[in-house]
Amino acid sequence: MAKNTLSFVCQNCGAAYNRWQGKCESCGEWNTLAEEDTSGSVPVSIRSRRKGRTFALESLAGKSPDAPRLSSGMTELDRVTGGGFVRGSVLLVGGDPGIGKSTLLTQATSLLARAGHRVVYISGEEAVAQVRLRAERLGLSDAPVQLAAETSVEDIVSTLSEGAVPRLIVIDSIQTMWTDTVESAPGTVTQVRASAQALIRFAKKSGAAIILVGHVTKDGQIAGPRVVEHMVDAVMSFEGEGSQQFRILRAVKNRFGPTDEIGVFEMTGLGLREVTNPSELFLSERDLGTPGTAVFAGIEGTRPVLVELQALVAPTSLGTPRRAVVGWDPSRLSMVLAVLEAHCGVKLSGHDVYLNVAGGLRIQEPAADLAAAAALVSSLVNAQLPTDAVYFGEISLSGVVRPVAQTPARLKEAAKLGFQRAVLPESARGESGGDAGLSLNAVNSLTTLVAEIAARGSRRGESNAPAEKNATPARFRRGEG
């Protein structure tokens, strides 16, 4: 009889240790080590397998047929996946609880089932009656989707192997699955890894596309070992704020399409509605004529997206000024503030700074530096920015405005939405300015932009000193407020 082998496995990254310790040395998380029995992590049939067989090797030269894709019927979902589901591919979808993952997949499977494909939805968290109740609420109860509430991977694979091979299989969620090949409890790193491997093996052998739903940790990362993200073909993150009706599906990894592509949805009483023009949606409730707002022309994957950046710079009563940002990288905000103070003479050491990306969108590209700086200076000097202008450009530590990619697409999207001018890097002036029909204001350094904004309004305090706590804005002194 084999001796039981116990080890302590990190439930966040999957690192194994011989003894318990409070902090995982691999990922740095505390209190994530759990005791697991790893003696049965490799099946006996695999350990006693005969000598491996030989296989044929092929050269790089030659033609390979394009991977056939299965359209989901949802344009935004197909955009993120790269044109549809590839046969034999495995996708991992993660998101916060209640964000709408099950709703999205229920709508996608219903559309495929109505198109005549065999689709199977297996839930490990809900009963069949609960899934049916959601389908009735969405008006999809008539779709011929095959349902099951099961958690055993061996039973699932055996059932799906009978009859015609399903075109799409949804496993909700991978953390609830368990396999007989390991003795750990469901949800542990060992079980998640072994269950995912068994399902991936079935997908590659049968040609069925599988979507795995994954839980997320408190910091938004998909729970379980990171090796699962390397095993699957695509990783998609479903993002959104609970108070916002917008939902964004973002491709973090995709072997069959572009990464960082996004699909925009709106949560309604009848499920998720696709948003074909997200720029118009994000700008639908703009604060026109308010200082501290600037429109950023960004790129998400291959799609140009216009979004409003809102900034508020207020005198602080604290010893350490507060820096709060929502929807943008806090490190980049700190860098922009440092450049403004070091090279542009903008003193922000006595002010609290708040920055928000309207609509719940998360911006990751550095091209938002120029728009963020314009909004910050506009709020500080109480100057209104032009409502028909868009901003984009990367700011270096020396204060120089650097060029960014896909300038023509940004300008074309801005012109389509009625904007008349664009503030962009000097080196990008000749790329596409006249074609878009916009008036271009090319800036070479951040100092030039700050001087232009400062000339539009009066500061709340002296330019080289923190503003007084009881200082009155110029518009109120003029009797306009």
Q: Is 100 annotated as a binding residue?
A: yes
Tell me, yes or no, whether 182 and 264 share the same domain: yes
> Does residue 61 lie within any of the structural domains?
no
Q: What is the average per-residue pLDDT within 311-330?
A: 92
The 3-class secondary structure across 283-304, one letter per residue, is CCCCCCCCCCEEEEEEEECCEE
Domain end (from 211, 241, 276) = 276
Tell me, yes or no, whether 291 and 255 share the same domain: no
Q: Is 434 annotated as a binding residue?
A: no
Tell me, yes or no, whether 178 and 119 share the same domain: yes
Tell me, yes or no, whether 163 and 19 share the same domain: no
Tell me, yes or no, whether 446 and 366 share the same domain: yes
**Residues 47 and 56 sit within 8 Å (Cβ to Cβ):** no
Q: What per-residue confidence (pLDDT) applies to 115?
A: 94
Q: What per-residue confidence (pLDDT) applies to 459?
A: 42
Q: Coil, strand, or helix at residue 266?
A: strand
Tell me, yes or no, whether 199 and 292 share the same domain: no
Tell me, yes or no, whether 318 and 445 share the same domain: yes
pLDDT digits (tens, 9 = 90+) for 258-275: 888 889 999 988 899 998
Q: What per-residue confidence (pLDDT) applies to 351?
A: 93
**Residues 329 and 364 sit within 8 Å (Cβ to Cβ):** yes
Q: What is the DSSP string of 7-43?
A: EEEETTT--EESS--SB-TTT--BS-EEEEE-TTSS-
Tell me, yes or no, whether 179 and 286 share the same domain: no
Asked if the model's pLDDT at residue 43 lies above 60, the reply is no
Asked if the model's pLDDT at residue 432 lies above 60, the reply is no
Asked if the model's pLDDT at residue 466 lies above 60, the reply is no
Q: What is the average per-residue pLDDT within 174-183?
A: 90
Beta partners for 352? 314
**Residues 465 and 347 sit within 8 Å (Cβ to Cβ):** yes
> Does residue 393 lie within any of the structural domains?
yes
- Residues spanned by the domain of 18: 6-40
Domain end (from 276, 308, 338) = 276
Give the H/E segment covering residue 183.
Answer: none
Q: Is 457 annotated as a binding residue?
A: no
Tell me, yes or no, whether 421 and 331 share the same domain: yes
> Does residue 480 lie within any of the structural domains?
no
Structure-model confidence comparison of residues 474 and 298, the more confident one = 298
Q: Where residue 254 sits, what CATH number does that domain have?
A: 3.40.50.300
For residue 379, the one-letter residue type is: S
Q: Is 220 annotated as a binding residue?
A: no
Gap between the Cα atoms of 301 and 262, Å rounded: 7
Q: Is 102 annotated as a binding residue?
A: yes
Q: What per-residue confidence (pLDDT) applies to 383?
A: 92
Q: What is the average per-residue pLDDT within 333-362?
A: 91
> Does residue 289 lie within any of the structural domains?
yes
> Does residue 198 lie within any of the structural domains?
yes
By the 10 Å C-beta count (0-12 exposed, 13-18 middle, 19+ buried), 329 is classed as middle
Confidence of residue 4 (pLDDT cuts 50, 70, 90): low
> Does residue 50 lie within any of the structural domains?
no
Q: Is 98 annotated as a binding residue?
A: yes
Tell me, yes or no, whether 369 and 446 share the same domain: yes
Gap between the Cα atoms of 85 and 406, Å rounded: 27
Tell me, yes or no, whether 264 and 402 share the same domain: no
Q: What is the average per-residue pLDDT within 389-397?
A: 95
Tell me, yes or no, whether 245 and 300 share the same domain: no
pLDDT digits (tens, 9 = 90+) for 6-30: 788 887 777 888 888 999 888 888 8
Tokens of 170: 């949804």
Q: What per-residue confidence (pLDDT) applies to 44?
A: 46
Q: What per-residue confidence (pLDDT) applies to 430?
A: 66
> Does residue 347 lie within any of the structural domains?
yes
Domain end (from 254, 276, 298) = 276
268: DSSP letter? E
Structure-model confidence comparison of residues 423 and 29, the more confident one = 423
pLDDT digits (tens, 9 = 90+) for 440-465: 999 999 999 999 999 886 544 444 33
Structure-model confidence comparison of residues 245 and 379, the more confident one = 379
pLDDT digits (tens, 9 = 90+) for 50-89: 567 788 888 888 776 666 889 999 999 999 999 999 999 9
> Does residue 66 lie within any of the structural domains?
no
Q: What is the DSSP string of 336-403?
A: HHHHHHHHS----TTEEEEEEEGGG----SGGGHHHHHHHHHHHHHT-PPPTTEEE--EE-TTSBEE-
Q: Where residue 431 sits, what CATH number does that domain have?
A: 3.30.230.10
Q: Report the chain's mean pLDDT, rounded to a whole number.
A: 85
Q: What per-residue confidence (pLDDT) applies to 224?
A: 63
- The structural domain count of the chain equals 3
